[in-house]
Structure 1
Amino acid sequence: MKKFQLYVLDDDEEYGQRLASFIRASEFGERMQVKLFSKLELILEVLETQQATGVLLLSETYYRLLMNRRTSLHKMILSETIANSLDAETKVPFLYRFQSLHNLLTRLQAFYTEKLNEASNSHGANRTSVVSVYSSSGNSGKTMTAIHLAKQLSFRGERVFYLSLESVSSTSLWLMGETGRFSQLIYYLKSSPGLLGPKLQLLKSFDPQLRFDYLSPNDQIREMQEISGDQIRVLIDALISLNEYAYIIIDLEASVHPRIVKGLEISDHIIWLVRDDLNDVYKSKALYKQLGAMQNVHFVMNKYIGVQMNDFSELGRDIAFNLPYIPEWKSIRTPEQMWTSSIFSEQTYEMAAALFISNRHYSTNAEGAIAS
């Protein structure tokens, strides 16, 4: 996703420098580029000579001078006294200066995303693609596949959200950023679903190494078991309504819990991992029959060694893709082992290109750097 421009016009130069330094050193540096101004005539020159896009953050000192000036930038008021309000005349929102910079920028980003969403709804926009990774049995490599897929898409310039719906998720071992926020999300899912969209901007985490946003449960086993299918739909709809992501990658567990079934139902594409094992043949056939003949299922053989020994024809679908067996992953001892195979990482993207990325989309992005 292209960075948006943040223009800051503030008479407090020290505050502006601190804000800019924080952006460049944090995950917000992946999403926004900041330009500081302390003189009115300089920002007027920008507004007059450029078709600028982004957000114009104004201190109250300058806002009254520019409140009625037309610009393509979305205005926000940096206030010392007012928070979470609107200017009665212009409907421009206030942003309280004396809060943590992380919260301030999160609210600013949410505001900009909302404006983009409004513009997209008026002009028509491509819908976020929801892709789930599922299997009929454990130890099939779902999380490995889901995270490598999210990584490959993000490294090619796509905005990606990774969501684990497992009862016990191991992703806290692999991902950087704050974890353990899922319990707060569950609270809002149950008590105030209408507020979920804005809260997602505050609760989601960002991995600066893999370049995608994520939510993953830490130790909320009981809470995850109590989540309903309808609540999962609310969550996915809220993520889509942010209009911020090209892909939502859902990491599912091998069960038929209502939250898992609903995740499958609302997915645009299901990557159903199978292993070349008789037990897997039986379980995959039984579960696929129980869940119904979903048309968006792609059976993918993981841990493929070059020859297929078992017959999967009773599934009624061909094996759509083969992901390679990685001997180094037979026993994981350190988090670093997850990134030892460039072959697997690249093959996850080849799988995506073959199964659900359009030819136009693939040719446009295939020149991007391949992450190993």
Structure 2
Amino acid sequence: MIPVKVVLAVAGREYIEPLLNYVHGSEYARRLRITAFSQPEAFRQYMMETNGMKRPDIVVGEAAFLSLWTDREAADIPCLALHEGEEVSQYGQPLLKYQPLSELVGSILEMARQRSGSRQSVNSREGGIIVGMMAASGGLGKTTAALNMSKQLGNEGYSVFYLNLETVDSSSLFTGSGSSNSTEGGGLSRLLYDLKATESDGIPFSVASYCVHRPEIQADTFQPVYNRKELIDMTCGEAVQLIRTIAESGQYDVVIVDSESENGDRAQAVLEASHKLIWLLADDLMSMHKCGLWLDVLELTQPEGFEAMLSKTNFVVNRYMGTMINSLPRDFMDLNGALPYIPSWKQMQHRELLLSSPIYQREIRHLCRKLLNVESAAQSPAAWS
């Protein structure tokens, strides 16, 4: 099921927070992605910049907010106008502000369902954008960057899937091992089996039924695979099929793929399947040398696809300290971004701090907007999701 993207605009946090808590703890957690505003100007700015995959499916708000959205009619986004008995029909379909939360959420979903037939989803034709994370060696912070990207995009209203293809999945440090019911749909192992079993039938998959939602990273993902032989034996073709099945399911705006840090079948699949690549570097001699050698191998073995690969690759230095000491290993490379060094991460004892550095999140936000061709906002919206 494709999550419904909702913008909620209400002046009081005492109204917003109980609603969000109810949704996150209920059966609606996977069906709704809510971005909430308590400041009218932040809402107005957000709606002015909304386009493409960031476009909401429905807006629910008070008249004081909706009146500031000047191009409401031209945007053709359904609106539910919250009221307490006053006339608000000029702003959208009236919706009683105070009612049982189950009925309130049900009304939002019903409005979205009615409009689903008249407006095609963002992903229904081309699928989600696949962002591959690459590195020439381990320990460069690839998983940290990938999970921070996932959280940032999720907070901005995108529906995100995080796929880890490492033999040793280090993402569990951030997300934990999950509850006992998290493999209810069978997880990645079952999906791989079903893909093979139905390969000739072309049966569409509901990927969400195989995965678990992780609020820590604002994304769906698979439980870590403990039978690592399944990953080791995965061919390039199988990995490409897996990645594209998730992206083409129509359930996600962005699929972030965390690849193996070696030039093998799964890494090759990420190179082939991704629409955008982030190749992480470290400003040290060995890291640069290994990156150059890997690029040499790719250029030698895949000359016909090498230029295409470079055209979608963003070289980003991680743990940047303000100046670059080492040169990029090849003349054709350009540095497309930098993620800061966070000294406090060396001494920390709480894993959640890896996902909550304001400085790191700021640069991740810039990188995400560059990848998705979204203009940076002058002021970030005060939003919950």
Q: Same fold (TM over 0.5)?
A: yes
Equivalent position of 2:321 in the other structure? 305
Equivalent position of 1:184 in the other structure? 190
- Higher alpha-carbon deviation: 208-217 or 271-280: 208-217
- Higher alpha-carbon deviation: 132-141 or 186-195: 186-195
> 2:320 is matched by which residue type in structure 1?
Y
Equivalent position of 1:101 in the other structure? none
Equivalent position of 1:253 in the other structure? 260
> 1:190 is matched by which residue type in structure 2?
K
User: Where do 1:164-313 residues align within 5 Å?
Assistant: 164-175=164-175, 177=178, 178=182, 181-193=187-199, 194=201, 197-198=204-205, 200-292=207-299, 293=306, 294=309, 295-312=311-328
Equivalent position of 2:130 in the other structure? 130
Give TM-score scaled by structure 1 length.
0.65
The answer as to whether partners of 2:211 and 2:223 remain within 8 angstroms in 1 is no
Alpha carbons of structure 1 residues 219 and 123: separation in structure 2 relative to 1, 3 Å: closer
Equivalent position of 1:362 in the other structure? 375
The SS at the match of 1:218 is coil
Equivalent position of 2:141 in the other structure? 141
Tell me, yes or no, if structure 1 residue 329 matches structure 2 residue 336.
no
> 1:362 is matched by which residue type in structure 2?
E
Equivalent position of 2:364 in the other structure? 348
The answer as to whether partners of 1:197 and 1:241 remain within 8 angstroms in 2 is no
Alpha-carbon deviation of 1:364?
Answer: 7.2
Alpha-carbon deviation of 1:22?
Answer: 9.2
The answer as to whether partners of 1:117 and 1:243 remain within 8 angstroms in 2 is no
> 1:283 is matched by which residue type in structure 2?
K
Instruction: In structure 1, list runs of 5 or more residues that go unmatched.
Output: 5-20, 34-52, 55-108
Give TM-score scaled by structure 2 length.
0.63
Alpha-carbon deviation of 1:139?
Answer: 0.4
Equivalent position of 1:45 in the other structure? none
Tell me, yes or no, if structure 1 residue 339 matches structure 2 residue 339.
no
> 1:212 is matched by which residue type in structure 2?
A
Tell me the alpha carbon deviations over residues 29-72 of structure 1, each in whole angstroms, 9 at most, x when there is no partner: 35249xxxxxxxxxxxxxxxxxxx99xxxxxxxxxxxxxxxxxx
Alpha carbons of structure 1 residues 279 and 224: separation in structure 2 relative to 1, 3 Å: same
Instruction: Determine the C-alpha separation between the residues in 2 that align with 1:213 and 1:233.
Output: 19
The answer as to whether partners of 2:4 and 2:31 remain within 8 angstroms in 1 is yes
Alpha carbons of structure 1 residues 27 and 335: separation in structure 2 relative to 1, 3 Å: farther
> 1:341 is matched by which residue type in structure 2?
S
Alpha carbons of structure 1 residues 125 and 185: separation in structure 2 relative to 1, 3 Å: closer
The answer as to whether partners of 1:188 and 1:196 remain within 8 angstroms in 2 is no
Alpha-carbon deviation of 1:309?
Answer: 0.7
Equivalent position of 2:64 in the other structure? none
Alpha carbons of structure 1 residues 196 and 282: separation in structure 2 relative to 1, 3 Å: farther
Alpha-carbon deviation of 1:215?
Answer: 2.1
- Higher alpha-carbon deviation: 159-168 or 214-223: 214-223
The answer as to whether partners of 1:3 and 1:30 remain within 8 angstroms in 2 is no
The SS at the match of 1:314 is coil
Alpha-carbon deviation of 1:313?
Answer: 5.2
Instruction: Determine the C-alpha separation between the residues in 2 that align with 1:319 and 1:240.
Output: 28
Tell me the alpha carbon deviations over residues 69-100 of structure 1, each in whole angstroms, 9 at most, x when there is no partner: xxxxxxxxxxxxxxxxxxxxxxxxxxxxxxxx
Alpha-carbon deviation of 1:222?
Answer: 1.0
Alpha-carbon deviation of 1:242?
Answer: 1.8
Tell me, yes or no, if structure 1 residue 120 matches structure 2 residue 120.
yes
Alpha-carbon deviation of 1:220?
Answer: 2.6
Alpha carbons of structure 1 residues 272 and 297: separation in structure 2 relative to 1, 3 Å: same
The answer as to whether partners of 1:172 and 1:218 remain within 8 angstroms in 2 is no
Alpha-carbon deviation of 1:255?
Answer: 1.0
Instruction: Determine the C-alpha separation between the residues in 1 that align with 2:27 and 2:351.
Output: 21
Alpha-carbon deviation of 1:226?
Answer: 0.6
Alpha carbons of structure 1 residues 121 and 305: separation in structure 2 relative to 1, 3 Å: closer
User: Where do 1:22-61 residues align within 5 Å?
Assistant: 25-26=25-26, 28-29=28-29, 31-32=31-32
Alpha-carbon deviation of 1:297?
Answer: 1.0
Q: How many residues align?
A: 277
The SS at the match of 1:206 is strand
Alpha-carbon deviation of 1:330?
Answer: 2.6
Alpha-carbon deviation of 1:183?
Answer: 2.3
Instruction: Determine the C-alpha separation between the residues in 2 that align with 1:268 and 1:212.
Output: 19
Instruction: In structure 2, list runs of 5 or more residues that go unmatched.
Output: 7-20, 34-56, 59-108, 300-305
The answer as to whether partners of 1:196 and 1:238 remain within 8 angstroms in 2 is no
> 2:381 is matched by which residue type in structure 1?
G
